[in-house]
C-alpha cells in the first residue's frame, strides 16, 4: 500500500465519473454508465483505504470503510452514496433500470462523491475515537492480505448471540 497507489485510485475515481457521464449522456449506454459510476465510488474508497494501509479488496470491506469514514467525519450521507453505487453496480449486471433512473442515480453520485475526495485530502481525523466495534473493524482492515486469506472467517462479523425467545 502506497501513496502512489492511493493517488492512482483517486485519479481513476475522477476519470470513471467523467466516463460514466459520457457513457450515459453521449453514448446512451446506461449499463456502462452504471459500471463506471459505481467504480468511481469504489476507487475513491480504495484511495482512502490505501492512505490508511487498510485492505479494500472486496465490496464488503469497502462498505465497512465507508461506514467508518461516515462516522469519523459525521457524514452519514456517505453510507447512502455507497448504497447508490451498489444499486448501479447491480444494474451493470442486470440492466433493469431505465435511463431516467440511471441518470438520476448518476447525478446523485456526481453530487456526493466529492465528499470522499475531500475526506481523503483531509486525512484521518485525529480527534476521532472509534467505538470498540469500529476498532475491531479497523484492526481487521489492518491485517495483511496474506493473513486474511489464510483465515476465511476474518472478514465476517462476530457470531450472533444465541436465539432464545421466551416460551409462550
Q: What is the pLDDT of residues 35-52, one digit of tens each?
A: 999 999 999 999 999 999
Region at 60 (left for phi over 0; alpha for psi -120 to 50; beta for the rest): alpha
- Asked whether 124 and 36 are in contact (CB, 8 A), the reply is no
88: exposed, middle or buried (Cβ count in 10 Å: 0-12, 13-18, 19+):
buried
pLDDT at 151 over 90: no
pLDDT, the chain, mean = 95
pLDDT at 25 over 90: yes
Q: What is the pLDDT of residue 147?
A: 87
- Asked whether 7 and 47 are in contact (CB, 8 A), the reply is yes
Distant-in-sequence, close-in-space partners of 107: CB < 8 Å, separation ≥ 6: none
Q: What is the pLDDT of residue 140?
A: 93
Q: What is the pLDDT of residues 122-146, one digit of tens each?
A: 999 999 999 999 999 999 999 988 8
pLDDT at 86 over 90: yes
Q: What is the pLDDT of residue 145?
A: 86
Q: What is the pLDDT of residue 168?
A: 74
pLDDT at 167 over 90: no
Q: What is the pLDDT of residue 21?
A: 97
Q: How far apart are CA 6 and CA 1, in angstroms?
A: 8
Dihedral sign (CA 46, 52, 53, 59): negative
Q: What is the pLDDT of residue 5?
A: 92
The SS3 call for residue 99 is helix
Q: How far is CA 84 from CA 87, 104, 110, 113, 117, in A?
A: 5, 10, 11, 11, 17
Q: How far is CA 14 from CA 54, 89, 100, 105, 134, in A?
A: 21, 17, 22, 17, 28
Between residues 158 and 30, which one has the greater pLDDT?
Answer: 30
Amino acid at each position: 500500500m502506497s501513496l502512489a497507489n492511493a493517488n492512482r485510485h483517486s485519479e481513476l475515481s475522477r476519470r470513471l465519473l467523467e466516463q460514466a457521464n459520457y457513457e450515459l449522456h453521449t453514448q446512451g449506454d446506461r449499463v456502462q454508465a452504471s459500471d463506471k459510476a459505481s467504480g468511481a465510488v469504489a476507487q475513491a474508497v480504495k484511495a482512502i483505504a490505501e492512505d490508511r494501509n487498510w485492505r479494500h479488496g472486496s465490496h464488503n470491506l469497502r462498505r465497512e470503510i465507508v461506514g467508518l469514514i461516515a462516522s469519523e467525519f459525521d457524514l452519514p450521507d456517505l453510507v447512502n452514496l455507497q448504497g447508490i453505487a451498489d444499486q448501479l453496480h447491480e444494474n451493470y449486471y442486470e440492466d433493469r433500470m431505465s435511463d431516467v433512473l440511471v441518470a438520476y442515480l448518476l447525478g446523485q453520485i456526481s453530487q456526493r462523491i466529492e465528499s470522499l475526495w475531500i475526506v481523503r485530502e483531509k486525512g484521518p481525523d485525529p480527534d476521532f475515537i472509534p467505538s470498540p466495534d469500529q476498532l475491531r473493524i479497523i484492526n481487521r482492515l489492518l491485517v495483511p492480505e496474506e493473513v486474511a486469506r489464510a483465515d476465511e472467517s476474518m472478514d465476517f462479523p462476530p457470531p450472533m448471540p444465541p436465539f432464545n425467545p421466551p416460551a409462550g
